[in-house]
Amino acid sequence: MKRALAWRSLLRPGDVGVVVGGVALCVHSLLSLWQGGRPDTAIVRAGGKVVAELELSAPRVLDVPGPLGTTRIEVEPGRARVASDPGPRQYCVRQGWLTQAGAVAICAPNEVSLSLSGRGADYDSLNY
Amino acid sequence: MIRSTIELVPTEKDRRIARHAAAAIVLTVAEAAIPLPLPGVKPGLANIVTLIVLARWGWREAVWVALLRVLAGSLLLGQFLAPGFFLSVSGALASLLVLGLAMHLPARWFGPVSHSILAAFAHIGAQLVVARLWLVPHDGVFYLTPVFALAAVVFGLVNGLVAARLLEELRAGERAARATTDSSSER
């Protein structure tokens, strides 16, 4: 206990401030730099062409026409999914919510795809 | 034997710089033996010597000691002119610049611990910039910033505390020495 007090006496008031500032800088850099993978836009393509770029900030529903019918894209803050699709096997619907930047849901029969993009995507593509 | 016509007489200051640089070099070499998880994350124990020299003898001598330490340390470790050497030099120069500014902070509030942490941040900052511009020309190096920043805080704090403690003991020793000489001269 006495030892601890002796060490603490070496810290001057400003030193404590500098330590706190340093820790704050650490936390700030951690939060700002290690958030790769958080998506900020959903890119919707139909027939290979981009039909919509949706901000992942407000909830929204978008209907995209394709050769088989209408694919419904649903966007919520921070995530997006294919809510319904006329395709036979429903792979893109069963993928559920996409939350990572770089994640893609492809409804091949209806030629619609939904991909999330963001600063510092973790993956170029995802396999299922 | 022909006597040299050039006589270099080392001053007291030269000897002092050499002594401190030697201590710093020993710490550098000893530190190289410590296994560390990430390249670049080092305690930087030699900076304790730099901090003490800065506090006792001023900025110019601290510059001499730090740069001599980087040069001789790299020669001893076989790192001279290797990429790591340039990172060390850039880090040392940046931290010396910051120390030169930080030493003018009010001493009542800011001690060796502040100097140490600020210098550590300058060190990693310069190293990251050099690494980004030259060694790894990709923004990916900045992903390591949080790790380096944490190391700067932790090791900066530890080194600063050790330096503050040593400075206190050196001062106490000097005071005691002066007291004994004073009392003996009185007699």
pLDDT digits (tens, 9 = 90+) for A28-45: 888 877 765 678 889 999
Nearest CA in chain B to A15: B114
Q: In terms of CA atoms, which chain B residue is nearest residue A34?
A: B143
Residue A113 forms beta bridges with which residues? A45, A106
Cβ neighbors of A1 (< 8 A, separation 6 or more) are: none
Closest by Cβ to B146, choosing from A15, A19, A33: A33
Report residue A93 as tokens: 């619907």
- Which chain A residues are Cβ-neighbours of B108 within 8 angstroms? 12
Nearest residue of B to residue A25 by CA position? B149
Give me the mean pLDDT over the A98-106 stretch: 87
CATH topology (fold) of A41-117: mini-chromosome maintenance (MCM) complex, domain 2 (2.60.320)
CA distances to A6, A33, A104 from A119, in Å? 48, 10, 16
Distance of alpha carbon B73 from alpha carbon B71, whole angstroms: 6
- Which residue, chain included where needed, has tokens 């209806």? A110
In the predicted structure, residue A66 carries a pLDDT above the cut 70: yes
- Asked if the C-beta of B166 comes within 8 angstroms of chain A's C-beta atoms, the answer is no
Which member of A15, A18, A29 has the closest CB to residue B149? A29
B95/B147 Cα distance (integer angstroms): 18
Inter-chain contacts counted by CB atoms under 8 A, chains A and B: 67
Sheet containing A70-76: order of strands:
A60-65, A70-76, A79-84
> What are chain B's domains?
13-186 (1.10.1760.20)
Has residue B141 got a pLDDT over 60?
yes
Distance of alpha carbon B37 from alpha carbon B40, whole angstroms? 9
pLDDT(A119) > 70: no
* Residue B138: pLDDT band with limits 50, 70, 90: confident
Chain A CB within 8 Å of residue B153 CB: yes
Helices B83-102 + B46-57 axis angle, to 10: 30
Instruction: Provide the mean pLDDT of chain B.
Output: 90
- pTM as predicted: 0.74
ipTM above 0.85, yes or no: no
